[in-house]
A and B are shown apart, each in its own frame.
Chain A
């Protein structure tokens, strides 16, 4: 049973470009969470999704950031017009139920140059 898969592992974008981060949850998991880890900080919750629904996006920046989890395919975290401050590690986690144990992927390290 493969774990949570994130790709790409490393992503470099120039300022103003778009970044798309993908997350495939573990088999049987329909709950996906995105966390961001800024340098020298802990992980911060961004958004919680179930298939085709955003349940809680209270941790998402108000502009430029969006997330989706379509019926088919991976969850996508999209950052438009990236800025240097978006450079961080973005982790995806999945769980079977809302209060089930969350399993984390290896993260996508975004560098904005």
Chain B
């Protein structure tokens, strides 16, 4: 176990609805990254939060938004859900953003979102 937790485990929503996913980072980590993993694909980087500020964003539309709290936990919000948003959403926590080998990313178990 990595110490990174995500909730809920599974979620079913209908097209057009909004969803909020939550991630608690590992103790001592100040950086949270979010990824979308479609079935049979590798994870795709959505965005990263470092000390409550967005610190980089992948190729995702603005209806994907996030938040990081003072305790470094984080939320991923998706508005106007589309069928293609169905995926496993992973968060990963790390200490710092230097990208060196010491900044290991620890992944949570993921939230499986199904949009019908």
- A, B: real partners: no
Q: Residues of B at under 8 Å CB distance from A?
A: none
